[in-house]
Structure 1
Amino acid sequence: MGKRQNAPAGEAMSELEFAAQHAIAAAGGDAVIALLNALARNSALERELALSRAAVSNGFSRGWHKARP
Structure 2
Amino acid sequence: MSAASEPAVPAEGDLELAADQAIAACGGDPQEAVKALLVAIDFLEAEANELRAAVSKGYSRGRQAGRRDRNESD
Normalised to the residue count of structure 2, the TM-score between the two structures is 0.64
Q: Percent of aligned positions with the same letter in both sequences?
A: 45
In the alignment, residue 19 of structure 2 is paired with which amino acid? Answer: A
Deviations 1:15-46 (A, max 9, x none): 11110000000100000000000000000000
Structure 1 unaligned blocks of 5 or more: 1-7
Normalised to the residue count of structure 1, the TM-score between the two structures is 0.68
Give the total of aligned pairs: 58
Structure 2 unaligned blocks of 5 or more: 1-10
What does residue range 1-69 of structure 1 map to in structure 2 within 5 Å? 14-61=13-60, 63-66=62-65, 67=67
CA RMSD of aligned residues (A): 2.3
Indicate conservation of the 8 Å contact 1:58/1:65, yes or no.
no
Measured after TM superposition, the shift of residue 60 of structure 1 is: 3.3
Residues 1:29 and 1:51: Cα distance change in structure 2 (over 3 Å): same
Measured after TM superposition, the shift of residue 14 of structure 1 is: 1.3
More helix by share: 2
Measured after TM superposition, the shift of residue 65 of structure 1 is: 1.8
